[in-house]
Structure 1
Amino acid sequence: MTDKYIAINWNDIEDRIDKATWEKLTEQFWLDTRIPLSNDLDDWRKMTDGEHYLVGHVFGGLTLLDTLQSQDGMSSLKAAVRTQHEEAVLNNIEFMESVHAKSYSSIFETLNSPAEIEEIFNWTGSDDYLQFKAQRINNIYQTGTDLQKKIASVFLETFLFYSGFYTPLYYLGHNKLNNVAEIIKLILRDESVHGTYIGYKFQLGFNELPETEQDKLKMWMYDLLMELYANEEKYTHELYDGVGWTESVLTFIRYNANKALMNLGQDPLFPDGAEDVNPIVMNGISTTTSNHDFFSQVGNGYRLGQLEVMEDDDYNYGLND
């Protein structure tokens, strides 16, 4: 055997974004077990059956997508890393996607009966629109090019999750399910870093392509976005028509589809901007610390390091910095 195994050296960094992202992700480390979800039970008992159904099923959908990211998404991206440090960052992301998926089960355990939980998970395996987006993205993970896989990952992280995130952010704005929302804000902060980092790595590869190849890939990218959005419209109607939020949720989705394109260094597609999104929901995205005590209630400001939310200006890493 002649090939040498190379130890990773964090004192010799090829790409400073790898180190910066690793440090941000490790500073932001959290676990759902430190958030007192049972404090939301009073709110939950006052909510209608329709609201219970909505919350349970949007979180069921998010569980499925986080499972996809942890089991298939990150492993598919590791096949084309540029540096050892990038693989370490993807390992961190892979683990946190598992934390996210597990967190929803903690919410279910607190709020739902065993029969309700069984129904939610059965639904995730049978809902046509949810299964379409999971299978469409996974097909790209299994058969796409390296750059197509990164596009799929960013679309999932920065676009497809957000039909589910709308619900807890809306309730947070009305002072309901505040501890559930703490988990969602922590997940949002993670996903913001994940999307920007993978989008940055996409841009490095995209900028190396000949112009004709760039044009073909951009056409593929926008076609995929529209295909996913058409399905997402149906998924949103299915979940939100009963509570009358559908159009507001679709605006939120289009806004985040534009953010996904920005992460990939591309022009936005939809006219929707931040000013068009429900301000209560937008306020939930720009999270501020809940200032919980480390040993009792642990919120998105708990003291394991200084945590920062990714603001709009952070969606694009500057490739020429």
Structure 2
Amino acid sequence: MTEQLQKVSIMEPQNPVRPTAIIGGKSSGILNWNDIPYPSFYRTYRELVGNYWIPQEVSMAPDARSLTTLTPAELNAYKLTIGLLATLDTPQARLIHAVSEYVTDDSVHAIAAVIAQQEVVHNESYSYALSSLFSYEEQRKIFDDARQNRTIIARNQRVMAAYDAFLAEPTPERLVKVIVFSMILEGLFFYSGFAFFYNLARQQKMSATSQIISFINRDELVHGKFMSELLRAVLGENNTLLTFELTEFIYEEFRIATESEIAWADEVLTDIIGIDNDEMAQFVKYRANKMLKMIGLDALYPEATANAMPWITAFVDNFDGTKTDFFEARNRSYEKVDADNGFDEL
């Protein structure tokens, strides 16, 4: 039987400040950003903190006026998509904290704290948007509908089952799998919903919600990038976990997740003016390829090498390139961090 990971002590002063391993190592519980094994984690931390926002920064007044211009299909998709996103962000805040409890690298604990806070803000933003547009009873119904929607339950089931399995038995193998599922959630499951809101905005509808979604999207890109960094670090230090079976597992779960996301888009976004279902399917496959590339795997869908909906880039800066290609190129924001932080290692 595989030995379980142990929760990290709050503080062990007899251990070194610089952690000896990312899992199963020794660490004092004292974080010195000048002396961490993975300097890229500091860049991620700085990027996360630089993205700070709160939903109240965005006035919902324009959306209150344009709500009546939505078609029945758009209104239905708006409510269902808000509900769906809430089912993803809420558990993710809990999961990232739970994972960090078994990682013996204090920089990961710090990053997890920021990510969890951002997930909480994301969830608050859905409540904030709905409170500006719908009655209290309608708001409750939107969340209840998401909770009971069979398609949402089915598409989230594999991810949540893996999360629960890790919490019940936190082994290194289950840690790796839960990180993979986090990449799927952060880097794939949100994106047809994001595209729907951006499509409304390019038709001069629900621009405030789209602005909030763009903030969430920006955060999720960094979250997904960090999960890929964390996975590479764990596998790099624990080569026995890097097996053919793991590679097959990753491809299979990304395939299932991609098909699930496409099926959701077909169910909810059909009849939405401006959304082409074939383009959406290509876009979702493109997102899957991007996430796989970040961990060094070949494309699952060789035909989806480009973003089939390039208009999305108008809503999220550098959506197609720098934010998701962390291991291929460093954009100016990363170079600026290098210059400003004064760390010789970076």
TM-score range normalised by the length of the shorter chain: 0.7 to 0.9
Q: How much does 1:279 deviate?
A: 3.0
1:120 aligns with 2:149: no
Q: Distance in 2 between matches of 1:316 and 1:147?
A: 21
Contact 1:76 1:149 (C-alpha < 8 Å) held by counterparts: no
* In structure 2, C-alpha distance between the alignment counterparts of 1:134 and 1:110, rounded to whole Å: 28
**Residue correspondence of structure 1 range 146-295 to structure 2 within 5 A:** 146-210=175-239, 213-243=242-272, 245=275, 246-270=277-301, 271-275=303-307, 277-286=308-317
**1:76 maps to what in 2?**
98
Q: Which moved more, 1:265-274 or 1:201-210?
A: 201-210
- Report the CA distance shift for 1:46/1:168 in structure 2 as closer, same or farther (over 3 A): same
What letter corresponds to residue 247 of structure 1 in structure 2? Answer: D
Structure 2 Cα separation of the partners of residues 50 and 220 of structure 1:
36
How far is 1:118 from its partner? 2.2
Q: Give the Cα–Cα distance (whole angstroms) in 1 for the partners of residues 298 and 238 of structure 2.
A: 18
Amino acid at match of 1:167: F
After the TM superposition, list the runs of 4 or more consecutive aligned residues in structure 1 that deviate by more than 3 angstroms.
2-6, 207-213, 316-321
Amino acid at match of 2:117: F
Larger mean Cα displacement after TM superposition, 18-27 or 259-268: 259-268
CA contact (8 A) 1:150 1:198 kept: yes
| Distance (Å, rounded) in 2 between the aligned partners of 1:226 and 1:89 | 29
The 3-state SS of whatever aligns with 1:312 is coil
Where structure 1 has 5 or more consecutive residues not aligned to the other structure, the ranges are 287-308
CA contact (8 A) 2:198 2:210 kept: yes
Aligned alpha-carbon RMSD (Å): 2.4
Cα distance 1:187–1:48, how it changes in 2: closer, same or farther (>3 A)?
A: same
Task: Give the distance between the partners of 1:128 and 1:227, measured in 2 at CA.
Answer: 17
Structure 2 unmatched runs, 5+: 1-10, 14-27, 167-173, 330-345
Name the residue aligned to 1:42: 65
Instruction: Point out which structure has higher relative CO (alpha carbons under 8 A, 6+ apart).
Output: 1
Of 28, 49, 64 in structure 1, the residue corresponding to residue 87 of structure 2 is: 64
Contact map agreement 1:185 1:284 (CA 8 A) in 2: yes
2:105 alignment partner AA: T
Name the CA shift for 1:310/1:254 in 2 (closer, same or farther; >3 Å): closer
What is the TM-score of this pair, normalised by structure 2? 0.78
Measured after TM superposition, the shift of residue 215 of structure 1 is: 1.6
Cα deviation code 1:245-294 (max 9, x no counterpart): 3333222211211122122222221222334x2232343233xxxxxxxx
Judged with a 3 Å threshold, the aligned counterparts in structure 2 of structure 1 residues 233 and 214 are, in CA distance, closer, same or farther, namely same
Q: 3-state DSSP class of the match of 1:207?
A: helix
Structure 2 distance, partners of 1:235, 1:18, is 34
Is the 8 Å Cα contact of residues 18 and 85 (structure 1) preserved in structure 2? yes
CA distance in 1, matches of 2:84, 2:12: 44
The percent identity for this pair of structures is: 23
Amino acid at match of 1:263: M
For 1:220 and 1:137, the matched residues in 2 are separated by 13
